[in-house]
Amino acid sequence: MSGRPLDVLEASLTEPVTVNLKDGSAYYGTLAGYDQHMNVVLEPPEADEEDDVLGEIELTPVEDTTIIRGDNVVTIKA
């Protein structure tokens, strides 16, 4: 896999991802789409999982199709 960001996102389509935002919140779900501006579309995760805590960041599952604007994204972890 190439290290280019959009190539990594392409390889992660339909996979579970965690998106960390500038405000310190984090959301997880299935990556359904993205664009060249790093806007991402998340679908609800497959398994019914409760909110989780990773370090001091609370992970929140998306409940419906959610678009996250790329300007707010700090990291995307597959």
What are 9's strand-pairing partners? none
Q: Is 10 helix (H, G, I), strand (E, B) or coil?
A: helix
Print the domain residue range for 28.
5-77
- pTM comes to 0.83
Q: Which DSSP helix (H) or strand (E) runs through 57? A: strand 57-61
- Sort residue 52 into left (φ over 0), alpha (ψ -120 to 50) or beta: beta
Angstrom distance (rounded) from CA 12 to CA 23 = 24
CATH number at residue 48: 2.30.30.100
Please state the domain count of the chain. Answer: 1
Angstrom distance (rounded) from CA 10 to CA 33 = 8
pLDDT digit of tens for each residue in the chain (78 aa)?
567 888 989 999 999 999 999 999 999 999 999 999 999 999 999 765 444 555 566 789 999 999 999 999 999 998
